[in-house]
Homo-oligomer: A and B are copies of this chain.
Amino acid sequence: MIKLLLFDLDDTLWPSSYYAEFARRNAVKAMIELGLDFDEDFLYEKLLEVIRDLGSNAPNHFNELLRRLGIKEEAKLIAAGVVAYHNSKIAIRPFPEVPRVLRILKEKGYMLGIVTNGLAVKQWDKIIRNELHHFIDRAIISEEVGYEKPDPRLLEYALNVFDCRPEESVMIGDRERDIKPAKELGMLTVRVKRGKYVNEVVDADYEINNLLELIEILRREDPWRWK
């Protein structure tokens, strides 16, 4: 019998790659609007380069962008980028079927967790903006635990928190780093095929395109609850 469903967050429950591009492009456009006279695509690519080099959780992406363009740090342009970037976050929504599916799963009695790599406040920021906190019981975040996927200890920690055995648990994620450690532990695995890593080779028990299909899988694997 399955008791616990563990979900990856980014690109599994919400289209994080899509919104990242949306927010970064809005930032670049606002900087152009305030006087940064470069081509939008050029600036966007340059910004991605900065993010690659400094890491996505670094502060001061926009300062560094201007520095690389040989522009004396200009508070006006940085503020334009920051405001547009933050305002874009207002538009964040989960994948459209997600709230409905999570509600059904909750009603059926499953425990629901999120297991995600990242900074705790930043991951919770996204959970709250997507209104996922209404459905999940716990979020297990790498920064707080000290292990990152694909290290199986992050999932072990999660199983421990929920007091569940691997064979009572399902891991749902978009990447091999979600699926591989879960398989190693003996969990059932479901790969959602979307987002930035849609072409990654992932060896999961099931592969779906939409979380509504998860319900069909659970009907088959856990018929007791769905009678």
Contacts and interface: CB of A to CB of B under 8 A. Distances in A.
A140 to B, nearest CB: 11
B34 A76 contact: no
Identical copies in the complex: 2
A201 B99 CA distance: 55
Contact of A125 (B83, B128, B144): B83
Contacts of A139: 76
A76 B132 CA distance: 12
Given A82-B121, A89-B86, A34 B75 contact: no
A83 B92 CA distance: 12
Interface in A115-144: 120-125, 127-129, 133, 139, 141, 144
A127 B61 CA distance: 21
Interface in A121-170: 121-125, 127-129, 133, 139, 141, 144
Counting contact residues on chain A (CB < 8 A from B), the size range is 20 to 34
Given A86-B86, A87-B90, A128 B75 contact: no
A87 B83 CA distance: 11
Given A34-B128, A75-B144, A79-B120, 13 more contacts: A34-B133, A75-B120, A76-B124, A76-B128, A76-B139, A78-B124, A79-B121, A79-B122, A82-B121, A83-B125, A83-B128, A83-B129, A86-B86
A80 interface: yes
Interface string A45-74: 000000000000000000000000000000
